[in-house]
Amino acid sequence: MDEVTIRRLGRPGDLGWVVQAHGELYAAELGWGTPFEALVARIVADFAGGADLEREAAWIAELDGRRVGCVFCVRADEETAQLRVMLVHPDARKRGLGTMLTAECVRFARAVGYRRLRLWTTNLQVAARAVYLSAGFELTGEEPYAGFGPTVTGQSYELAL
């Protein structure tokens, strides 16, 4: 069937799924444990506990009615939004969901008046980085980061809106 939909986060279980999916996927693929899952839980809890729904939003990607991806757009400051916790489950990759989720975040950030959109990722997220670069994000900085286990290269990206 392969019916893909992108919808606003808000159904029962969405928040927990975002945390669980990140925890399980990143542990399996990169060996990242509790510190990473705890970071995602804090991001999700901050959104759930106080999002300005006029200027912040989150989306869930579904494949045949099953959650398989997500992205959040949150306020960094008055002029800057931040793309956070973008994920596409391995079962749903190669369908353009990362591109669709990123585009939704970019559209929203523009529509609500942010002047730029930024994100942070690592050198290990090769497919996600390709999506971000194709959306027009530019690398603005790199530095070693050891917060999730073995040291990786943290990368900051920005898109002028």
In Å, how far from its chain's centre is CA 26?
13
Q: Is residue 21 part of a domain?
A: yes
CATH number, domain containing residue 87? 3.40.630.30
Q: Is residue 136 part of a domain?
A: no
In Å, how far from its chain's centre is CA 126?
14
Q: pLDDT, tens digit, for every residue of 40-72?
A: 999 999 999 998 999 999 999 999 999 999 999
Residue among 123, 122, 119 at smallest CA distance from 106? 119
Q: Is residue 11 part of a domain?
A: yes
CA distance 90 to 79: 34
The answer to pTM > 0.75 is yes
Q: Count up the domains in the chain and report the number.
A: 1
Q: What is the mean pLDDT of the chain?
A: 95
**Contact predicate 109/80, CB 8 Å:** no
Domain carrying residue 29: 4-115
